[in-house]
Amino acid sequence: MNLRRDLSEKVLIADGAMGTLLYSYGVDRSFEELNLSHPDDIVAIHRAYIEAGADIIQTNTYSANYIKLSRYGLEDDIKKINQAAVRHAKEAARGTGVYIFGTIGGINGANDARIAAPSLEEIKRSFREQLYCLLLEGVDAILLETYYDLDELKTVLKITRETTDLPIVANVSMHEPGLLQNGQTLASALQELADLGADVVGANCRLGPYHMSKALETVPLLENAYLAAYPNASLPQMDEGKVVYQTETDYFEQYGEIFRQEGVRLIGGCCGTTPDHIRALRRGLNSLEPVTSKVVHPILELAELDVAEDTGVRLTDKVKEQYTVLVELDPPRTFDTAKFFEGAQELDAAGVDAITISDNSLATPRISNMALAAILKHEYDIRPLIHLTTRDHNLIGMHSHIMGFHKLGIQDVLAVTGDPSKVGDFPGASSVFDLRSVELVQLIKKFNDGISYTGKSLKEKARFQVAAAFNPNVLKLDKAVRLIERKVEYGADYIITQPIYDTEKAVQLKEALVEAGITVPVFVGVMPLLSSRNAEFLHNEVPGIRLTDEVRERMREADKTGAGCEEGMAIAKEILDSICAHFNGVYIITPFLRYDLSIELTKYVQNKEQIVEISSQN
């Protein structure tokens, strides 16, 4: 048996989906664990694909790595699960001459946003562990499949090539035919993978046979690698709560020959495909002889993208030179918006640089902040800074919202996770969390390149500046600052913090940022206290806010004389003194629409600016 020789001489047929056939065991369990608990079923599926005409079967190890198995408490069984998977495949293929591919699936792009995203080092460590397990069991080749993140695939491909001389198949996944998620063309991505040492490069998952064939029309035959195609059976649909795929195989049959004509040497199936689909693919081939030339239909070259209109001095430019004040006003919970707009106008007249509008803070439903932001901008000529949570919007909704922001001319966005739904007025509501906040930052910045989440051209470039949230009220600030590093790495232009109630916190934050080499602007939060009761509520019940014992005691004493609000403002000004000594960015959170307090604090900061200017002139 010689896989490279066979690929050079003929078209090979691979198997189809494993998970589709294991779906009946439940979606809330690890399909890879079935290698241990249901070995006969795994062997039977392999044999069904071999009987259907597959020249190649892949091990049931797509998610058999530390990162994914740990979600089921199976991280200690990695070796056993991978060993069993290879042995089951060998048992099914014994005496048939069928090749066995050790399968390793992608990690980025398919995560639960409520689970911390693994670092690249964690991915590499997890990948190596699984790779060694498969190699020690003696697979014939390594199949890297369902990688939406090209950088991740290139990283693990390099590791694989450095580790083994076995053939490697590297498959990307696309949302849009012919385009990767990062906007790169399929043709250029596959050439990169071939240059890194992959023997076979191609695509799998997400697209059905029609769109996958259209994507491959844009790819020329490569000199240093063969092409592969593993389409889904169709787009999935829901039937009585279950995900199902179209089962008609006659349609699938015609694509065996279509893929061969596009120069594909390795044809298999992905989600929704069964032995009947593989049988149909083989039946549809007019010949196993590979084609050696083809007509390439490149993706149409788009005209140069338009760029959104420049709306003047950006917050990040001003804050580098002088004090810059952002003030948050919560959207109303009712239709009565009079006080909100009254406050916004008063704040604007006082010289506030932007009004920030939360996105259902504390999971409490309020008037759409997009609607309020649009009114502020277009009716009052006030700059809005709009919050967008990953809690309330799924990926489709977020994409649509961001497109809406762009067309409304709203260019300043704070990307946040959002408080869990259970803390709000509707505890029965669900939290979406399709993306992590860092991924939302990354998504918004892609719009500046005129690229959608799927990599598709938007025909216009946005001009978003994206803020990321940070909570400095932690015990080990230096370690927490690493989160800022990551958000900046994902594209954050500046940072907005939770309110602080300790003058030393601003000093500590500045030192930690300097030590970490973080230079993006930071707007440090301050929120005036109204009473001791207000202080205790914030300290004990609001996530991310901590008050010092001294501040709480001062508020308790002030309440005894009815001077709680005055003391709260005195504390806020002390905090502002510390902030302004180390930062130019100030973020004032207005309590209960008491915008008069925010105006007083804004003027306090402006007075500092005037003192600095006078001092510099003298």
State residue 302's pLDDT score: 46
pLDDT, position 524: 97
Domains of the chain, with CATH numbers? 3-284 (3.20.20.330), 322-617 (3.20.20.220)
- Residue 434 sits at φ, ψ, to 5 deg, of -65, -30
Query: What CA–CA distance (Å, rounded) separates 504 from 148?
Result: 44
Distance CA 212, CA 227 (A): 12
As a whole number of angstroms, the distance between CA 322 and CA 320 comes to: 6
- Give the per-residue pLDDT at 614: 46
Give phi and psi for 6, each to the nearest 5. -60, -40
pLDDT digits (tens, 9 = 90+) for 510-545: 999 999 999 999 999 999 999 999 999 999 988 889
Task: Quote the CA–CA distance of 493 and 495 in Å, as a whole number.
Answer: 7
Q: What is the pLDDT of residue 305?
A: 59
C-alpha to C-alpha distance for 371 and 358, rounded to whole angstroms = 12
Q: Determine the longest span between alpha carbons in the chain, in angstroms.
A: 93
Residues annotated in the binding site, as ranges? Answer: 205, 270-271
Pick out the chain residues at pLDDT < 50.
Answer: 111, 114, 301-303, 614-618
Nearest C-alpha neighbor of 428 from the set 335, 359, 365: 365
pLDDT in tens, 467-515: 999 999 988 888 889 889 989 999 999 999 999 999 999 999 999 999 9
pLDDT at position 247 is 60
| CA quadruple 70, 72, 73, 75: dihedral sign | negative
**Residue ranges of the binding site for Zn(2+):** 205, 270-271
Three-class SS of 209-221: HHHHHHHHCCCCC
Q: Where are the beta strands (DSSP E) in 250-383?
A: 264-267, 306-307, 324-328, 354-357
Report the pLDDT value the prediction gives residue 429, as an integer from 0 to 100: 81
pLDDT score for 617: 44
The span from the CA of 365 to the CA of 333, in Å, is: 7
Cα separation of the two ends of the chain: 87
